[in-house]
Structure 1
């Protein structure tokens, strides 16, 4: 492969990431204004409205990668994005704000714990595929459409819980009555989504090309490059919310976005392609990292119900160790914990 092709792929990735950021700005602003217009509580704004909106790049990645026969890139992107979200986004938000980011018990004991349940549910779904639909030798299994419905059903429960919170919520004077044109905001949201879809299409093609050049498994490319690019919207939403003194919405977006990605985005990709073979031996170490990252975030959120600057640095340090480990595994320098890496 020529050097010009390599540079072209890198340039496409950079431009696609920029376009994702741009489109997500439209989408995030529109979803935030619509949530305020309809008088939704701050936790629901962050965990559902903003989270689903900022998760569109991950969903688009899974759909486009699945239709292109490279669903492993999409699945890897979801897992990597989840790790990025719980470590890097709160870390940056904590460093870019003057005061510690405040949490609350609802966020810790509902959103964080339901997200932990989402991680377990997806891992169990993968395990069921290995047990009942083994694919070849080793620990590979086929995730079928009926299995993909299991995490979707759990997300339905999550939405029902959020609906109950919304029904019980009485909006204050600062949450309703603002002059917002709903029709215009829905159009703005749709335009942002269109930009994201187009950018993700080119992003997946460029990443697949890089995988062929360097011989790197698609799952690992998804965990690193695709995850970082598609997590830009979540970063934008959470940092903006934190700087606007809406810390609960900032952290709720991280947890809600990850819950959506794991329970909706991956199953939708499988429903589209019909079935997908998952290398359980590759997935389990990554889910181990994701679980560790989630426990770390849960711990710092619960400690005094605030995220301090020192804790933010600690979260970023854990992510740096994760990226370093993946790079060393890919170069066959570290202990071989990832098969085929």
Structure 2
């Protein structure tokens, strides 16, 4: 077996390990959430989001702390956000030929997600213009800027808590907390092992094809770590629970931008972002988010035809970043 085939196998196996660990994590977290009587909002915005997004968080931690490759983790976060927003709702909609939504999702969760993207723009702009050493090309994200993102996520959780605190679950649940905490710890280890494998595979692909590691974060790691989100949303759609399907996507993306990314910065101490690359990518993510809001707001559903359009947009994204990397097009640098 040649080197490329070996690393392809490693990537596939690692994705399977991540999926199994994430499934165990979500089940244990759900039981603990019910046992401690957490409000629905906290369960959705924190428990479910952290459970399905822990692979992305792990990818940033492993890439930065173990391999010194923050750009790889950053690519995984941005690529995962695009995948979650375009591919997961499309696959979920295909389960029932459409995916119903609500005004709360469009007006609250989606709008706060746009705020998250705009805040990330602001953080990069501040890092490029006001942080010593920053230039119009290199944005330096420091610890205070990372803490600003984390503080915003705290506001997000607080708002959800205020909206539904009176609806906290009080149902008695026959759960052994010690056993569930043990399963939760095991799931974290399993996910970390899977993420380590897929990060190593991504680094190997970059070496074999002589391409930046950022590209493989955008594609291989992003897809591999986003599959747990996909399974959660598709399973929810199959059970006619479209609200959970969509809130999981938006909540996970908000968590990735406001928690996973700044955690990587805190680990590294500071991070230098290629401003000329980051801004167009975030611009594409913003455009995809606006299309998502418009399509889900129209008739309060995502139709099967619109789902195919979402998949087309994701293919365009992959082709774009691929052509940029090999130098066939220079849209990013030419802006």
TM range (shorter): over 0.9
- What is the deviation of 1:11? 1.6
Q: 2:148 matched to which residue of 1?
A: 150
Residue 86 of structure 2 aligns with which residue?
87
- Contact 1:45 1:249 (C-alpha < 8 Å) held by counterparts: no
1:286 aligns with 2:281: yes
Give the alignment of 1:231-250 within 5 angstroms: 231-250=226-245
Rounded Cα–Cα distance in structure 2 between residues aligned with 1:47 and 1:307:
22
* Paired residues for 1:254-265 under 5 Å: 254-265=249-260
Cα separation, partners in 2 of 1:114 and 1:136, compared to 1, 3 Å: closer
Matched, 1:184 2:179: yes
SS at match of 1:183: helix
What residue ranges of structure 1 are gaps of 5+ in the alignment?
Answer: none
Distance (Å, rounded) in 2 between the aligned partners of 1:41 and 1:246 = 19
Q: Cα gap change, 1:155/1:125 in structure 2, threshold over 3 Å: closer, same or farther?
A: same
Conserved 8 A contact 2:39-2:165: no
What's the CA shift for 1:296?
A: 1.4
Distance 2:222 2:314 in 1: 13
Match of 1:336 among 321, 327, 330: 330
Report the Cα offset of residue 178 of structure 1: 4.5
TM-score for the superposition, normalised by structure 1: 0.91
- So what's the TM-score if we normalise by structure 2? 0.93
Question: Which residue number in structure 2 is paired with residue 114 of structure 1?
Answer: 112
User: For 1:58-207, what aligned pairs fall within 5 Å after superposition?
Assistant: 58-67=56-65, 68-96=67-95, 98=96, 100-133=98-131, 135=133, 139-169=137-167, 171=169, 176-207=171-202
Deviations 1:185-205 (A, max 9, x none): 332222222100111112112
* 1:99 CA drift (Å): 5.3
Instruction: Give the superposition deviation at 1:6.
Output: 2.3
Separation of aligned partners in 2, 1:42 and 1:305: 22
Say how many residue pairs are matched: 333
Report the CA distance shift for 1:46/1:313 in structure 2 as closer, same or farther (over 3 A). farther
The residue number in structure 2 matching 1:52 is 50
CA drift at 1:38: 4.9
**Alpha carbons 2:45, 2:157 under 8 Å: kept:** no
Q: Name the CA distance, whole Å, in 2 between partners of 1:136 and 1:255.
A: 31
> For the residues of structure 2 that align with 1:241 and 1:180, how far apart are their CA atoms?
23
Q: Match of 2:240, SS? A: coil
CA contact (8 A) 1:89 1:234 kept: yes
In structure 1, the partner of 2:269 is 274
For residues 249 and 38 of structure 1, the distance between their equivalents in structure 2, rounded to whole angstroms, comes to: 21
